[in-house]
């Protein structure tokens, strides 16, 4: 990256660390609710219908989150401000979170979930775009490594908030909101990022990347950098979503004695293993200026892990395959989140386009159930794992053949 005279080349470590903490707060804002609190509440209130309500809530929330992330990312582009939107979303989502478990009407509950997702993405959309405004290419690998803390923190927050006899369910939501605020606010108040005019300056017409939407006059003729980065993340995310949802059920086909606590521990260990590995790989990609190579290797490693799952016949092989896949996918997703900023369109549409990239987080929730229903009843889990291995291998090939970015 060329540096203009007088412009700081690197962002401060304080901002990078506080930003990673805020991203962890974003994960902690939804992970405990969606994976732990909500299933228990739905079962307690609606009994046997709880699963149906959860399904509707997941679908409604995914649609609301997708649209809101794009809308508020775009709003922060238009207004030229990120922090006011982050703070407003933090406050509104916290208030709505603490009110969810007071609702017993299904339509009102679904409306409340949608409203909470809208408020949450009022915070998340501008927060993700802010990194693109402040972190130069030379530090995007390091940022990606730091972002590996986010899912691990989300899992750890769930563990802490579910300690037996800690508090009543409603109080747990209040504690959750307080923890999220404690993680997000420091970067807003104390982050004070160095100005990076080179990241906000319009590109020359002949070198400007183009928006994602076909037909836009700024869309690239080969569509490679942006479209491929979107597609490879979607392919890995579909596999990750399927394993997260069905790992316990599959492991029980290998060993009926596998407990949910054992699987929860497996999730936690894998997520925390990703943190130092992603940091090391991210710093290496910065120092060597090879951002694509770690992503390619990680996607290939994820495909190998899924191949192991396809042929696993006992619990040891099953766990080994999952560990390989989960670590590689975790590193991939962490680094991809920051390296995407290299190929995004103009600075004035950064928030909007990151919102479009965020669809790779929600679309898998719509794709994965149909894959499961089509394959598992007829062909078993092995067919699902084989297809997912092909997805990851395709992601590896797309990255390996992608032009340098």
CB contact at 8 A, 254 and 318: yes
- Domains of the chain listed by start with CATH number: 13-192 (1.20.1250.20), 224-400 (1.20.1250.20)
Give Cα 8 distance to the centre of its chain. Answer: 29
Residue 121 CA to residue 356 CA, distance in Å, equals: 13
Kindly report the backbone phi and psi dihedral angles of residue 194, in degrees, each rounded to the nearest multiple of 5, phi listed first: -65, 140
Residue 145 CA to residue 301 CA, distance in Å, equals: 17
Sign of CA dihedral 64, 65, 68, 74: negative
CA dihedral angle for residue 96, residue 100, residue 105, residue 110, rounded to 10 degrees: 60
Query: pTM of the prediction?
Result: 0.77
Q: Where are the alpha helices (DSSP H) in 162-291?
A: 169-190, 197-200, 224-254, 260-288
CB contact at 8 A, 60 and 183: no
Q: Where are the alpha helices (DSSP H) in 255-291?
A: 260-288
| Residue among 26, 19, 20 at smallest CA distance from 179 | 26
Summarize pLDDT for 149-169 with one digit per residue, the tens: 888 787 788 778 877 778 888
Q: Retrieve residue 186's tokens.
A: 């420091």
Parts of the chain with a pLDDT under 50: 1-5, 204-222
CB contact at 8 A, 389 and 310: yes
Q: Which residue has the tokens 């923890």?
A: 179
Residue 303 CA to residue 41 CA, distance in Å, equals: 36
Q: Which residue has the tokens 């400007």?
A: 208
CB contact at 8 A, 85 and 76: yes
pLDDT of residue 15: 94
Kindly give the interhelix angle for 50-79 and 359-379, rounded to the nearest 10 degrees: 150
| Residue among 36, 29, 32 at smallest CA distance from 124 | 29
CB contact at 8 A, 157 and 31: yes
29, exposed or middle or buried, with CB in 10 Å at 0-12, 13-18, 19+? buried
CB contact at 8 A, 40 and 164: no
CB contact at 8 A, 156 and 268: yes
Length of the chain: 405
pLDDT of residue 380: 84
Sign of CA dihedral 17, 19, 22, 28: negative
Distances (CA, A) of 227 to 79, 290, 299, 336, 340: 27, 19, 17, 13, 11
Summarize pLDDT for 16-44 with one digit per residue, the tens: 999 999 999 998 998 888 877 887 888 88
Distances (CA, A) of 78 to 71, 126, 349, 368: 10, 11, 8, 34
* Residue 23, SS3 per DSSP: helix
Count of other CB atoms within 10 angstroms of residue 190: 10
pLDDT of residue 272: 82
CB contact at 8 A, 315 and 254: yes
CB contact at 8 A, 240 and 329: yes
Q: Which residue has the tokens 């509440």?
A: 41
Residue 285 CA to residue 405 CA, distance in Å, equals: 12
């Amino acid at each position: 990256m060329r540096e203009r005279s007088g412009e700081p080349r690197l962002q401060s470590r304080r901002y990078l660390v506080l930003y990673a903490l805020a991203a962890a707060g974003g994960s902690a804002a939804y992970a405990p609710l969606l994976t732990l609190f909500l299933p228990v509440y739905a079962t307690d209130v609606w009994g046997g219908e709880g699963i149906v309500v959860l399904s509707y809530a997941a679908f409604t929330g995914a649609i609301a989150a997708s649209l809101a992330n794009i809308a508020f990312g775009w709003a922060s582009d238009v207004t030229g401000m990120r922090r006011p939107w982050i703070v407003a979303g933090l406050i509104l989502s916290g208030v709505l979170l603490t009110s969810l478990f007071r609702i017993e009407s299904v339509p009102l509950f679904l409306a409340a979930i949608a409203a909470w997702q809208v408020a949450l993405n009022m915070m998340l959309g501008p927060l993700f775009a802010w990194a693109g405004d402040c972190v130069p290419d030379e530090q995007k690998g390091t940022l990606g490594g730091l972002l590996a803390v986010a899912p691990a923190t989300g899992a750890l927050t769930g563990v802490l908030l579910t300690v037996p006899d800690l508090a009543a369910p409603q109080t747990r939501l209040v504690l959750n909101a307080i923890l999220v605020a404690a993680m997000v606010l420091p970067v807003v108040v104390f982050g004070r990022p160095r100005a990076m005019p080179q990241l906000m300056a319009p590109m020359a017409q002949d070198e400007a990347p183009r928006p994602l939407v076909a037909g836009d006059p700024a869309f690239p003729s080969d569509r490679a950098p942006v479209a491929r980065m979107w597609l490879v993340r979607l392919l890995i995310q579909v596999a990750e979503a399927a394993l997260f949802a069905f790992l316990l059920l599959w492991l029980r086909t290998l060993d009926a004695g596998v407990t949910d606590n054992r699987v929860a521990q497996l999730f936690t260990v894998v997520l925390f293993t990703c943190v130092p590995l992603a940091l090391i790989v991210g710093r290496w990609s910065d120092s060597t200026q090879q951002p694509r190579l770690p992503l390619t290797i990680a996607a290939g490693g994820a495909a190998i892990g899924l191949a192991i799952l396809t042929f696993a016949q006992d619990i040891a092989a099953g766990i080994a395959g999952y560990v390989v896949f989960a670590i590689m996918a975790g590193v991939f997703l962490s680094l991809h989140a920051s390296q995407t900023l290299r190929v995004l369109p103009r600075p004035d549409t950064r928030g909007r386009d990151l919102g479009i990239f965020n669809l790779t987080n929600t679309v898998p929730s719509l794709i994965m159930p149909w894959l499961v229903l089509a394959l598992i009843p007829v062909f078993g889990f092995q067919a699902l794992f084989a297809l997912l291995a092909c997805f990851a291998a395709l992601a590896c090939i797309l990255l390996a053949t992608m032009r340098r970015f």
